[in-house]
């Protein structure tokens, strides 16, 4: 509580006035507060939050990779599938799981909805209705047709579908590079472009080898 101090007037009387506090913020604390505020401003300007493009891309990556796994699983243990094709399918399968898990973690960090996929229930053979607006996605009918293709026709059809699917992944990542803002998501998209282009080259080489 402020104490009133007597102030003598010209008539010899006294006037009560509130006492002003002489306490000041210590210089060290002031410097610390300024530093914290400056750091927060710098962080907000250097690390923009995820925008709509980041969320759309990350959601679509999960759906796209889930279907990639479905396509790859159709070749596992299938008669007529070469060792080279089997190796490509196995390596790609591990990469897809890893990338889908990272994308899922980013969505949860943003408190965004994670799309329901076959990955969620470990039922790769199921045919959930994925967003057909995603580049390179197969319809349920196309996937079922591929599943029932037999003999030597399967390998050709499988490669053609997978090549188209991978080309869609490159297109998807390029949109994020052009429109996204989140650093981690942009880095993931850059890596996706390089990785999917490398995989496309390998798949196209295998496809040409069939006709040679």
Does 121 share its domain with 63? yes
Structural domain boundaries, residue 31 = 4-46
Q: Inform me whether the pLDDT recorded for 147 exceeds 60.
A: yes
Q: Which residue has the higher pLDDT, 64 or 40?
A: 64
Q: Does an H or E element contain 175, and which?
A: helix 152-179
Q: Which two tokens stand for residue 88?
A: 């490509």
Distance CA 92, CA 98 (A): 10
Q: Which residue has the higher pLDDT, 30 or 131?
A: 131
Does 207 share its domain with 120? yes
Confidence of residue 7 (pLDDT cuts 50, 70, 90): very low
Distance CA 36, CA 42 (A): 10
Query: Which residues does 59 contact at the CB level (< 8 Å), separation at least 6?
Result: 103, 107, 112, 113, 114, 115
Does 68 share its domain with 8? no
Angstrom CA distances, 47 to 74, 89, 96, 190, stand at: 42, 37, 27, 18
Domain count, the chain: 2
Does 90 share its domain with 133? yes
Does 34 share its domain with 103? no
Does 40 share its domain with 70? no
Q: Inform me whether the pLDDT recorded for 3 exceeds 50.
A: no
14, β-bridge pairs: 8
The pLDDT of residue 30: 54
**CA 60 distance to own-chain centroid:** 9
| Locus of tokens 């990272």 | 102
The CATH number covering residue 135 comes to 1.20.1260.10
Q: Does an H or E element contain 6, and which?
A: strand 4-8
| Locus of tokens 């197969």 | 138
Confidence of residue 28 (pLDDT cuts 50, 70, 90): low
With beta carbons less than 8 A apart as the criterion, state whether 177 and 193 touch: yes
Q: Which two tokens stand for residue 74?
A: 């159709």
Does 80 share its domain with 172? yes
Does 89 share its domain with 168? yes
For the segment 73-100, what is each residue's pLDDT rounded down to a tens digit? 898 888 888 888 888 888 899 999 999 9
Distance CA 196, CA 192 (A): 6
Does 41 share its domain with 61? no
The pLDDT of residue 137: 94
Does 42 share its domain with 122? no
Does 23 share its domain with 100? no
Does 69 share its domain with 174? yes
């Amino acid at each position: 509580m402020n104490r009133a101090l007597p102030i003598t007037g010209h008539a010899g009387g006294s006037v009560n006035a509130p006492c002003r506090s002489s306490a000041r913020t210590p210089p060290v604390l002031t410097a610390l507060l300024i530093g914290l505020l400056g750091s927060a401003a710098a962080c907000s300007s250097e690390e923009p939050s995820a925008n709509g493009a980041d969320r759309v891309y990350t959601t679509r990556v999960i759906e796209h990779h889930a279907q990639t796994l479905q396509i790859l699983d159709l070749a596992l243990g299938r008669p007529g599938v070469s060792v080279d094709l089997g190796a490509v399918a196995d390596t790609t399968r591990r990469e897809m799981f890893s990338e889908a898990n990272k994308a899922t973690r980013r969505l949860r960090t943003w408190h965004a909805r994670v799309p329901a996929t076959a990955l969620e229930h470990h039922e790769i053979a199921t045919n959930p209705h994925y967003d057909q607006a995603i580049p390179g996605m197969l319809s349920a009918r196309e996937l079922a047709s591929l599943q029932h293709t037999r003999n030597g026709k399967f390998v050709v059809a499988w490669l053609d579908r997978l090549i188209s699917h991978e080309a869609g992944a490159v297109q998807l990542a390029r949109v994020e590079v052009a429109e996204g803002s989140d650093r981690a998501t942009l880095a993931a998209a850059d890596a996706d472009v390089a990785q999917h282009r490398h995989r496309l080259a390998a798949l196209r080489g295998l496809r040409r080898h069939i006709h040679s």
